[in-house]
Amino acid sequence: MKDQSQFWFMYFDFRYEREGEPNLLAPVDVFVSTVDPLKEPPLVTANTLLSILAMDYPVDKVSCYLSDDGASMLTFEALSETAEFARKWVPFCKKFEIEPRAPEMYFSLKVDYLKDKIQPTFVKERRAMKREYEEFKVRINALVAKAMKAPAEGWIMQDGTPWPGNNTRDHPGMIQVFLGHSGGHDTEGNELPRLVYVSREKRPGFQHHKKAGAMNALVRVSAVLTNAPFMLNLDCDHYINNSKAAREAMCFLMDPQIGRKVCYVQFPQRFDGIDRHDRYANRNTVFFDINMKGLDGIQGPVYVGTGCVFRRQALYGYNPPKGPKRPKMVSCDCCPCFGRRRKLSNYSKHGTREEGTNVHGSSLEVLEEDKELLMSQMNFEKKFGQSATFVTSTLMEQGGVPPSSSPAALLKEAIHVISCGYEDKTEWGIELGWIYGSITEDILTGFKMHCRGWRSIYCMPKRPAFKGSAPINLSDRLNQVLRWALGSVEIFFSRHSPILYGYKGGNLKWLERFAYINTTVYPFTSLPLLAYCTLPAICLLTGKFIMPTISTFASLFFISLFISIFATGILELRWSGVSIEEWWRNEQFWVIGGVSAHLFAVIQGLLKVLAGIDTSFTVTSKATDDGDFGELYTFKWTTLLIPPTTLLIINIVGVVAGISDAINNGYQSWGPLFGKLFFAFWVIVHLYPFLKGLMGRQNRTPTIVVIWSVLLASIFSLLWVRIDPFIVRVQGPDVKQCGINC
Asked if pLDDT for residue 186 goes beyond 90, the answer is: no
Report the percent of the chain where pLDDT is more than 90: 26
Q: Is the predicted pLDDT of residue 325 greater than 60, yes or no?
A: no
End-to-end CA distance of the chain: 78
CA 255, 257, 260, 265 dihedral sign is negative
Question: Which of 248-262, 559-573, 668-682, 728-742 is the most confident on average?
Answer: 248-262
- Average pLDDT of the residues of the chain: 78
Measured CA distances, 623 to 45, 283, 394, 395, 470 (Å): 11, 18, 39, 42, 10
Binding site: what residues are annotated?
Answer: 33, 39-40, 69, 210-211, 235
Look at 673 and 398; give whichever has higher pLDDT: 398
Q: Which residues pair with 467 in a beta bridge?
A: 239, 270
Q: Helix, strand or coil for residue 330?
A: strand
Q: Which residues have CB under 8 Å from 73's CB, separation 6+?
A: 147, 155, 157, 163, 165
Structure confidence at residue 668 (pLDDT) = 63
Catalytic residues: 69, 442
Query: Is the confidence at residue 139, as pLDDT, over 90?
Result: yes
Binding-site residues for Mn(2+) sit at 211, 235
Which of the two residues, 620 and 148, has the higher pLDDT score? 148
Is the pLDDT confidence value at 549 over 80?
no
Confidence of residue 91 (pLDDT cuts 50, 70, 90): very high
Question: Cα–Cα distance between 637 and 635 in angstroms, integer?
Answer: 7
197 with 76: CB under 8 angstroms? Answer: yes
Q: How confident is the model at residue 239 (pLDDT cuts 50, 70, 90)?
A: very high
**pLDDT winner (highest mean) among 104-113, 506-515, 535-544, 668-677:** 506-515
140 CB neighbour count, 10 Å cutoff = 21
In 350-502, DSSP assigns E strands to: 455-458, 466-469
Question: In degrees rounded to 5, what are phi and psi of residue 533?
Answer: -75, -20
Rounded CA-CA distance 544/706 in Å is: 28
- Domains, the chain, in order of start with CATH, read 3-321+397-470 (3.90.550.10), 524-697 (no CATH)
Query: In the prediction, which pLDDT does 5 show?
Result: 46
Least confident piece of the model among 44-48, 504-508, 653-657 = 653-657
Which amino acid is present at 256?
P
> In this model, does residue 374 exceed pLDDT 70?
no
pLDDT for the residue numbered 364: 43
Helices (H) and strands (E) in the chain, counts: 25, 13
Query: 3-17, 32-46, 247-261, 354-368: which range is least confident on average?
Result: 354-368
Lowest mean pLDDT among 105-114, 122-131, 211-220, 337-346: 337-346
Give the annotated binding-site residues for UDP-alpha-D-glucose. 33, 39-40, 69, 210
Point out the least confidently predicted range of 113-117, 229-233, 560-564: 113-117
**pLDDT score, position 696:** 59
Of 535 and 137, more confident: 137
How confident is the model over 716-726, as a mean pLDDT?
Answer: 54
Closest by CA position to 410, among listed 401, 423, 421, 400:
401
Distance CA 25, CA 658 (A): 70
Give me the phi and psi of 318, to 5 degrees please: -75, 150
Q: Please, which pLDDT band fits residue 382 given cuts at 50, 70 and 90?
A: confident
Query: 115 with 259: CB under 8 angstroms?
Result: no
Res 657 pLDDT > 50: yes
What H or E segment, with its residue span, contains residue 178? strand 174-179
pLDDT for residue 656: 77
What pLDDT is stored for residue 67 in this prediction? 93
